Chains A and B, each alone.
Chain A
Amino acid sequence: MYNPEVIETPALKGRKRMKVALLGNPNSGKTSVFNKLTGLRQKVGNFPGVTVDVKSGRLDMNKDLAVELIDLPGTYSLFPHSSDERIVVSTLCNTRDDNYPDAIVYVANSAQLEKHLLLFTQLLDLNFPIVLALNMADVAEGKGMKIDNARLSKEFQTPVISVNARTGEGIDRLKIVLEELLLHGVQAEGLSQRRPFYELSDQEEQLSERAGEVMEVRNVYHGLLLAHHHSWLPFLDNWLKVSISHKLESTEKPLLHYQVRETMSRFDRLGPLLKRSIMRPADQPLSRSEFADRLLTHRVWGPTIFFVLMFLVFQAIFEGASYPMDWIEQIFRALGRWLQTSLPDSWFADLLVKGILSGLGGILVFIPQIAILFFLISILEEVGYMARAVFLFDNLMSRFGLNGRSIVALISGGACAVPAIMSTRTISNWKERLITIMITPLISCSARIPVYALLIGFAIPSVPVLGVFNLQGIAFMGLYLLGILAALGVALIFKLVLRSDERSFLLMELPDYKQPQLRNVGYTVYEKVKAFTLEAGKVILAISIVLWVLADFGPRKEMARAEEEARTIAAQNNMDESATADLIASRQIEVSYAGHLGKFIEPVIRPLGFDWKIGIALITSFAAREVFVGTMATIYSIGSESDEFAIRDRLAQEKDPVSGKPVYNMATALSLLIFYVFAMQCMSTLAVVRRETRSWKWPIIQFLFMGGMAYLGSLITYQLFA
């Protein structure tokens, strides 16, 4: 079933809107070329069914041609192994795919042409109009190589352009050639119809024909690819898969055998062809990257340098973000106060201030951390250092079902899980990435610090240990260690439980070190901040409003009575205005829905040593852990502006109305500490996990298992110490 029509140049179909796919190997500088071509006119979507982002952007052409450039994942061939690479095949093999391109821009690293053109020759054989963009021409020149573009162009019968994504050199020319190609096909460049680069063997022809008997194919090579990949291609109906595999039953050799042979024969032809077109100096200079790696991947110095770098990254998030975060908080607090005084007192003003404004503040407050983390990480990535970190830690991490890159997420999780989870995007193995996402929130983040400080101060005496240490400090460190151990333990369990058909490979190019391109770094930061604000932001805002309803509303009569009582008491004791307001808030939160919920869950949390008041704080601190401190302050009507120390003193005085014993003793505080180490008390993290896994399933599982660990941990702690 040959269909010659689809090979026609797109212009003949009279279409104005066209799609161009950007393809190339990893480390070809494809992303730089993409950024240079599209600028900020890019948007991020995702491929249906998988958690891989698709970036696309509009290309401005001179003629009235609307071209959408689609950045497909970097891959080495059309014989894929990871889900990223599979996307490339399923996009290019499905003529009805949304991203099916009219033409292709293929980016190759000029200095590595011998290795980087396999995929290119496969694309040639799929008969796409294609421009070969030779990137990093300056690097190749620096190595003394001379590439004869005209000759290459003749050999491949397709346009070849040298570009430099760093300086922008050749980008305009690339656009012009692409436009010509889209409008007039390859003939415009004075090139004739090309012959297949790879001649199929008789058996392969048969394979292709058989696939062609059940569905329409673009050409004979397209048929062969369908035969190779029919078992997993998502766009094939089940009956098509069955009938293709039925037809292939009689093939003598396993399909893999043909893939090996095809790859070999393509390289056999590429080798001499490139020798004719590229002049290399006889003696290659020693790679400078290799020299640097003597230190950077050294058994002792390598990890040392890595941890120093990570410590700096951690410090930058921790310290650097604190100022802008304070400003954001102050601005929102001032805005809230202003709204409250200028708007008439109504539920609407309350919704605006306590629901929406605090939700928005809760979203924006993460932006400095996200921006700083991705600024630093993408510099390390751009330089080529991240690949070395993977080399250093892959072995250790793979024992826990993780990836070498997971260590970055785990360390930055110590500042905040939100950007840390977003950074797992670079882990291409889905199982390894998922496990990293699931365990990162167990690492104690900065939001736990106020809670730890409050409770440690309460439960643990400040006594010196061994002369130099303080027991409180040791307890602090113990909590962090507990989080790390829990994370690794859970990772092991997930490693055993999760099934994956993707084999865990590590075959990774260690690219030459190069100067980072600030433009690329800027785009990454912009994109991450945007994705968080828009996508996770929605969920955070919604939960924030729900929490506001819970804490601010209650059965109407009870709320009114609580206010009345509070006013009477205040009047009797001659309290001033702000003390009265604090008392009203305290009485009202008791009878609010959150209060009712707190009392409702009291029997469940009683064995942990918690009363309903802590129950309320557990519910409200779901917004963010540090809210715990504020809620306890409200419940005990200390006023929301007060600090941990005032609350600590107040808690110590609290007596059980029946027995007269203190409600909060060391056992309660320890139990609560353990609870906060494990519990998923952060809506923003859940929102980000939902975005990164594209489902509610994983955040819900995470919420449940972390909640379960918290409950059990607290139960054991309380029962031991009570």
Chain B
Amino acid sequence: MRLTELKENEEGILHRYEDERLAVKLMAMGVLPGSRLRVIRKNAFGNTLYVRVDQMHLAIRKTEAACIILK
């Protein structure tokens, strides 16, 4: 299941990334395998996600979020 498939206020555990370049960047920000991800909000067209990662909040585009696979 991908992060983009979550609806608002649903959560999941990060399993792996599909894109290595993105993985380096996400991991550097502390978005790690095993992190608990919760979609707080999607913006008007659903193309940008507001995600809670553990204790941190993050904005991420749909294209990038689609590379995040959840358990």
Residues of A participating in the B interface, judged by any CB pair closer than 8 Å: 76-77, 79, 81, 111-112, 114-116, 118-119, 254, 256-257, 259-260, 263-264, 267, 284, 287, 289-290, 293, 297-299, 302-303, 387, 390-392, 394-396, 398, 503, 505-512
Given the known inter-chain contacts A115-B30, A293-B40, A297-B50, please indicate yes or no for A256 contacting B56, CB distance below 8 A.
no
Q: Is the CB of B56 within 8 A of A115?
A: yes
Partner of A391, one of B23, B30, B43, B45: B43
Q: Is the CB of A293 within 8 A of B50?
A: yes
Q: Mark B8-46, 1 if CB is under 8 A from A, else 0.
A: 000000000000110111111110110000001101110
Q: Is the CB of B55 within 8 A of A506?
A: no
Partner of B48, one of A76, A260, A293, A391: A391
Partner of B59, one of A81, A391, A396: A391
Inter-chain pairs besides A79-B25, A112-B55, A395-B43, 6 sampled, C-beta below 8 Å:
A79-B24, A81-B25, A254-B20, A260-B23, A302-B43, A387-B59
Partner of A257, one of B20, B32, B41: B20
Q: Which residue of A lies closest to B44 (CB)?
A: A299
Q: Is the CB of A509 within 8 A of B58?
A: yes
Q: Is the CB of A267 within 8 A of B32?
A: yes
Q: Is the CB of A297 within 8 A of B29?
A: no
Q: Is the CB of B24 within 8 A of A290?
A: no
Give CA–CA (A256, B44) in the complex, Å: 34
Q: Is the CB of A510 within 8 A of B24?
A: no
Residues in A with CB closer than 8 Å to B29 are: 76, 115, 507, 509
Give CA–CA (A256, B22) in the complex, Å: 10
- Distance in angstroms from A599 CB to nearest chain B CB is 54
- Distance in angstroms from B31 CB to nearest chain A CB is 8
Residues in A with CB closer than 8 Å to B47 are: 395
Residues in B with CB closer than 8 Å to A391 are: 43, 48, 50, 59
Q: Which 3 A-B pairs have the closest CB atoms?
A: A115-B30, A77-B28, A76-B28
Q: Is the CB of A510 within 8 A of B43?
A: no
Give CA–CA (A289, B61) in the complex, Å: 21
- Distance in angstroms from A91 CB to nearest chain B CB is 18
- Distance in angstroms from B70 CB to nearest chain A CB is 17
- Distance in angstroms from B11 CB to nearest chain A CB is 13
Residues in A with CB closer than 8 Å to B57 are: 287, 289-290, 509-512
Given the known inter-chain contacts A118-B30, A507-B64, please indicate yes or no for A390 contacting B59, CB distance below 8 A.
yes
Count chain A CB atoms within 10 A of each CB in B23, B24, B28, B59 and give the residue with the most: B28
Residues in B with CB closer than 8 Å to A396 are: 44-45
Q: Which residue of B lies closest to A263 (CB)?
A: B27
Query: Is residue B1 contacting chain A, with contact meaning CB distance below 8 A?
Result: no
Q: Is the CB of A395 within 8 A of B59?
A: no
- Distance in angstroms from A551 CB to nearest chain B CB is 51
Give CA–CA (A610, B25) in the complex, Å: 56
Q: Is the CB of B21 within 8 A of A256?
A: yes
Q: Is the CB of B20 within 8 A of A297?
A: no
Q: Is the CB of A260 within 8 A of B24?
A: yes
Give CA–CA (A136, B54) in the complex, Å: 19
Q: Which residue of A lies closest to B57 (CB)?
A: A510
Count chain A CB atoms within 10 A of each CB in B29, B50, B57 and give the residue with the most: B57
- Distance in angstroms from A266 CB to nearest chain B CB is 9
Q: Which residue of B lies closest to A76 (CB)?
A: B28
- Distance in angstroms from B19 CB to nearest chain A CB is 10
Residues in A with CB closer than 8 Å to B50 are: 293, 297, 391, 510
Q: Can you report 14 residue pairs joining A to B where beta carbons are below 8 Å apart? A: A111-B55, A115-B30, A115-B54, A118-B28, A118-B30, A260-B27, A267-B27, A290-B40, A387-B59, A394-B61, A395-B44, A395-B61, A505-B61, A510-B50
Residues in A with CB closer than 8 Å to B54 are: 114-115
Q: Which residue of A lies closest to B53 (CB)?
A: A115
Q: Is the CB of A79 within 8 A of B28?
A: yes
Residues in A with CB closer than 8 Å to B59 are: 387, 390-391, 394, 506-510
Query: Is residue B6 contacting chain A, with contact meaning CB distance below 8 A?
Result: no
Give CA–CA (A396, B23) in the complex, Å: 25
Q: Is the CB of A299 within 8 A of B43?
A: yes
Given the known inter-chain contacts A118-B30, A391-B50, A392-B43, please indicate yes or no for A510 contacting B25, CB distance below 8 A.
no
- Distance in angstroms from B22 CB to nearest chain A CB is 8
Residues in B with CB closer than 8 Å to A115 are: 29-30, 54, 56
Residues in B with CB closer than 8 Å to A254 are: 20
Q: Is the CB of B28 within 8 A of A394?
A: no
Give CA–CA (A471, B52) in the complex, Å: 51
Give CA–CA (A115, B35) in the complex, Å: 11
Give CA–CA (A503, B20) in the complex, Å: 14
Residues in B with CB closer than 8 Å to A398 are: 61
Q: Is the CB of A264 within 8 A of B27?
A: yes
Residues in B with CB closer than 8 Å to A387 are: 59
Give CA–CA (A509, B56) in the complex, Å: 7
Q: Is the CB of B55 within 8 A of A284?
A: yes
- Distance in angstroms from A241 CB to nearest chain B CB is 20
Residues in A with CB closer than 8 Å to B21 are: 256, 503
Partner of B52, one of A290, A390, A394: A290
Count chain B CB atoms within 10 A of each CB in A116, A263, A298 and give the residue with the most: A263
Given the known inter-chain contacts A264-B32, A293-B50, A507-B29, please indicate yes or no for A395 contacting B45, CB distance below 8 A.
yes
Give CA–CA (A118, B28) in the complex, Å: 7
Q: Is the CB of A256 within 8 A of B28?
A: no
Q: Which residue of B lies closest to A264 (CB)?
A: B27
Give CA–CA (A419, B64) in the complex, Å: 33
Residues in A with CB closer than 8 Å to B61 are: 394-395, 398, 505-506
Give CA–CA (A289, B40) in the complex, Å: 11
Residues in B with CB closer than 8 Å to A267 are: 27, 30, 32
Q: Is the CB of A114 within 8 A of B58?
A: no
Residues in A with CB closer than 8 Å to B44 are: 299, 303, 392, 395-396
- Distance in angstroms from A380 CB to nearest chain B CB is 16
Partner of A256, one of B20, B48, B55: B20
Residues in B with CB closer than 8 Å to A503 are: 21
Residues in B with CB closer than 8 Å to A290 are: 40, 52, 57
Residues in A with CB closer than 8 Å to B56 are: 112, 115, 509
Residues in A with CB closer than 8 Å to B40 are: 290, 293
Q: Is the CB of B24 within 8 A of A506?
A: no
Give CA–CA (A293, B40) in the complex, Å: 9
- Distance in angstroms from B52 CB to nearest chain A CB is 7
Residues in A with CB closer than 8 Å to B30 are: 112, 114-116, 118, 267
Q: Which residue of B lies closest to A510 (CB)?
A: B57
Q: Which residue of B lies closest to A116 (CB)?
A: B30
Give CA–CA (A506, B50) in the complex, Å: 11
Q: Is the CB of A260 within 8 A of B45?
A: no
Give CA–CA (A511, B50) in the complex, Å: 12
Give CA–CA (A505, B64) in the complex, Å: 8
Give CA–CA (A293, B56) in the complex, Å: 14
Give CA–CA (A77, B32) in the complex, Å: 14
Q: Which residue of B lies closest to A75 (CB)?
A: B28
Give CA–CA (A511, B28) in the complex, Å: 16
Residues in A with CB closer than 8 Å to B20 are: 254, 256-257, 260
Residues in A with CB closer than 8 Å to B43 are: 297, 299, 302, 391-392, 394-395
